Chains A and B, each alone.
Chain A
Amino acid sequence: MKSFETPIERRGADLAGKKEKTLHRRLSRQTRENIFGYLFISPWIIGFLGLTLGPLLFSLFASFTDYNITSRMNFIGLDNFKRMFTIDDLFKTSLWNTLYYVLFSVPLTTAGAIFLSVLLNQKVKGMKFFRTLYYLPAILSGVAVYFLWMQLLSPSTGLVNTFLAWFGIEGPAWLFDPEWTKPALLLMKMWSVGGGMLLYLASLQGVSNSLYEAADLDGAGVMQKFIYITLPMISPIIFFDVLTSTIGSFQIFQEAYVMTENGSGGPGNSLLFYNLHMWNNAFEVFDMGYASAMAWLLFIVVMILTIINMKIGKKWVHYEGGDDK
């Protein structure tokens, strides 16, 4: 890396010396930073205090009650939390299904999106068209997509299994076999990596060509350039993508809700995800207290994961702008 130092980096080194002086010269700087900082984030603070915090605290409180949304809210202590681990067997099922999904979907979609964005960042004829095309699945949503995939994944005549048959592979029954329902959903998810692709594509625009040119002079191959230049340069976005898609995968709901006829959970409950179980409790059984308790338990789990992620992130995420933590 050292060998292709850019003009920015050199200039950065020069400026680093000046930085200290600036801070000393203006003692009021910290105050100014505070004022501007809070001024800039004030819209978020207003929104948080005004619109988000209240409902959040309400749901936190509700998790210790038997709240039924419309008429009842008695304090029952930790009963809801106890119920998850003692009485409610579906809780475990839903947690297991969700973990399975998170474990596979996050790495797969991240890798898929990076791969696609690198391809779509080449100078090739018709690139505008390709980019639009690959983003399309990210726009499509709802029932149409579901029925579409039902057909594509049809065991005997679906496109996917027909394709597999060319290679002599007998495709599974996908949505009808509890062992294969989650992979089917993963496949669907992979189809719509266009959203993630867009993020990486935007990030790749920030990678200076001079870095690649310098690498070319050093005789670096495609893979080397990818590993030593591209990946570090887009690592802030990889970090973002991994973190948000972990959070998103834990909250997978819509796909499963639509694909299992209003949330029944699919064959053998193999698609009963955490949030689906939560939804059923909240809006089918009207046990919002229990649903809130589930939500907050997940909150704690994902929060811990996020913090771990951020700690590890400091080691591998490369901020070109200079880390100032």
Chain B
Amino acid sequence: MRSAAAPKFYETKKFKDKVKQAIVFIVLLAGSVLVISPLWWMISTSLKSPAEIAQYPPTFMPKEFHFSNYVDAWKTAPFTRWAMNTFFIAFCGMAGSVIVNSLVAYAFAKIRFKGRNALFIVVLSTMLIPGFVTMVPQYILFSKLGWVNTYLPLIVPAFLGSAFFIFLLRQFMMTIPNELIEAAVLDGANHIQIWWHIMLPLTKPALITVAIFSFNGAWNDLLGPLLYLNDESLYTLQIGLQTFKGTVQTQWHYLMAMSVMVLLPVVLLFFFFQKHFIEGSNIATGTKG
């Protein structure tokens, strides 16, 4: 280190940061070409006419832009209704997931109750059996409860915790210093207050992740709604998407247009949420106060 002389401009931290940023930017930009190319294919197909889709070799850009595909696809079935249904289910699922899983995870991370470790193994073990093996008995169970053809089988389980999210949030909560909790206990706070006033604000990025994942999961779920709903007026978008896939011919232009539209709300949600990532409290800043 030549500490004596004034550093040259290319040795300054500022310059190094700039170079680093430029490299990161270029890498990300290059990567985004890979990520985006499949999406481009989707969008371009959604704007083509069926005749152009059937052409060989496939065209990269649509010759004519058929924006009407979007409107027409939407009109082929009660998509407005289905979109509202899907939104409702996904929204409820998201709310349930965030609240309940963080409660359960808090207990597994920070409350020292008897049998905690054994129960946690049980939580994990529920992830190990593939859903379709228990699908039929579960269907029978819900049908005995009279829940078939309602949204209950799709929403209620979200309010009863999921092993994946419990485990995830527990991991995040484990990184929160115990001292914070001890201090709060000394101040006379109970666990509900600690959970609400300390844990939730401190694990905001993790909660957002859970929110995105659970919304995304419910939004894309096909088998659940299909299994439990019998009335077409209760259907969801994913079932609607299937109508474009024919046994003989697939309506690619509609399928892609609709796929793009189905994708949009999740993208917007993500875009909206991710800015809270940066605003989300850093543990260090949290302890300073």
Q: Which positions in A face B, CB cutoff 8 Å?
A: 6-8, 11-12, 15, 18-19, 22, 30, 33-34, 36-38, 40-41, 43-44, 46-48, 50-52, 54-56, 58-59, 69, 116, 119-120, 122-126, 128, 130-145, 148-149, 151-152, 157, 159, 191, 195, 198-199, 201-203, 205-206, 208-210, 233, 236-237, 239-240, 243-244, 247, 251, 253, 275, 278-279, 282-283, 288, 291-292, 295-296, 298-299, 302-303, 306-307, 319-322, 324-325
Contact among B159, B160, B177, B284 for A322, CB-based, below 8 A: B177
CB of B32 within 8 A of CB of A130, answer yes
C-alpha spacing A116/B220, complex, angstroms: 24
C-alpha spacing A288/B132, complex, angstroms: 10
Binds A, one of B21-29, B77-85, B224-232: B21-29
Query: Which residue on A lies nearest to B271, using beta carbons?
Result: A132
Any chain A CB within 8 A of the CB of B133? yes
Residues of A close to B175: CB separation below 8 A: 203, 206, 233, 236, 319-321
Residues of B close to A198: CB separation below 8 A: 209, 212-213
Binds A, one of B4-12, B68-76, B87-95, B262-270: B262-270
Given A37-B116, A59-B137, A240-B171: A44 and B160 within 8 A (CB)?
yes
Residues of B close to A325: CB separation below 8 A: 117
**In the complex, what's the smallest C-beta–C-beta distance from B169 to chain A, in angstroms?**
10
Contact among B129, B159, B172 for A56, CB-based, below 8 A: B129
**In the complex, what's the smallest C-beta–C-beta distance from A152 to chain B, in angstroms?**
7
Any chain A CB within 8 A of the CB of B130? yes
Residues of A close to B164: CB separation below 8 A: 244
CB of B138 within 8 A of CB of A55, answer yes
Query: Which residue on A lies nearest to B195, using beta carbons?
Result: A40
C-alpha spacing A157/B58, complex, angstroms: 11
3 smallest beta-carbon distances between A and B, as pairs:
A37-B113, A47-B160, A208-B284
Residues of B close to A51: CB separation below 8 A: 138, 141, 156-157, 160
C-alpha spacing A240/B24, complex, angstroms: 27
**In the complex, what's the smallest C-beta–C-beta distance from A45 to chain B, in angstroms?**
8
CB of B107 within 8 A of CB of A209, answer no
Any chain A CB within 8 A of the CB of B274? yes
Interface residues of B in 167-192 (CB under 8 A from A): 167-168, 171-179, 182-183, 185-186, 190-192
CB of A202 within 8 A of CB of B277, answer yes
Query: Which residue on B lies nearest to A237, using beta carbons?
Result: B171
Given A135-B270, A145-B38: A47 and B28 within 8 A (CB)?
no
CB of B190 within 8 A of CB of A36, answer yes
**In the complex, what's the smallest C-beta–C-beta distance from B195 to chain A, in angstroms?**
8
Interface residues of B in 245-289 (CB under 8 A from A): 245, 255-256, 259, 263, 266-267, 270-271, 274-275, 277-278, 280, 282-284, 287-288
Query: Which residue on B lies nearest to A240, using beta carbons?
Result: B171
C-alpha spacing A202/B280, complex, angstroms: 9
C-alpha spacing A191/B25, complex, angstroms: 19
CB of B216 within 8 A of CB of A205, answer no
Residues of A close to B177: CB separation below 8 A: 8, 11-12, 320-322
Interface centre among B31, B133, B255 (most CB of A within 10 A): B133
C-alpha spacing A210/B24, complex, angstroms: 22
Contact among B192, B267, B284 for A209, CB-based, below 8 A: B284
CB of A133 within 8 A of CB of B127, answer no
CB of A306 within 8 A of CB of B128, answer yes
Contact among B39, B108, B216, B280 for A41, CB-based, below 8 A: B108
Interface centre among A157, A236, A283 (most CB of B within 10 A): A236
Any chain A CB within 8 A of the CB of B106? yes
Given A122-B24, A137-B35: A306 and B41 within 8 A (CB)?
no
**In the complex, what's the smallest C-beta–C-beta distance from A74 to chain B, in angstroms?**
17
Residues of B close to A46: CB separation below 8 A: 160
C-alpha spacing A209/B278, complex, angstroms: 13
Query: Which residue on A lies nearest to B139, using beta carbons?
Result: A55
C-alpha spacing A287/B283, complex, angstroms: 52
CB of A191 within 8 A of CB of B111, answer no
CB of A133 within 8 A of CB of B111, answer no
Contact among A135, A141, A159, A210 for B284, CB-based, below 8 A: A210
CB of B283 within 8 A of CB of A206, answer yes
CB of A295 within 8 A of CB of B133, answer yes
Residues of A close to B213: CB separation below 8 A: 195, 198
**In the complex, what's the smallest C-beta–C-beta distance from A144 to chain B, in angstroms?**
5
CB of B130 within 8 A of CB of A295, answer yes
C-alpha spacing A302/B127, complex, angstroms: 10
Mind listing 6 A-B residue pairs with CB under 8 Å? A40-B111, A58-B137, A202-B172, A208-B282, A321-B174, A322-B177
Given A33-B111, A247-B127, A253-B130: A137 and B38 within 8 A (CB)?
yes
Interface centre among B28, B58, B190 (most CB of A within 10 A): B28
Residues of A close to B117: CB separation below 8 A: 325
CB of B220 within 8 A of CB of A123, answer no
CB of B128 within 8 A of CB of A144, answer no
Residues of B close to A38: CB separation below 8 A: 107, 113
Residues of A close to B240: CB separation below 8 A: none
CB of B191 within 8 A of CB of A40, answer yes
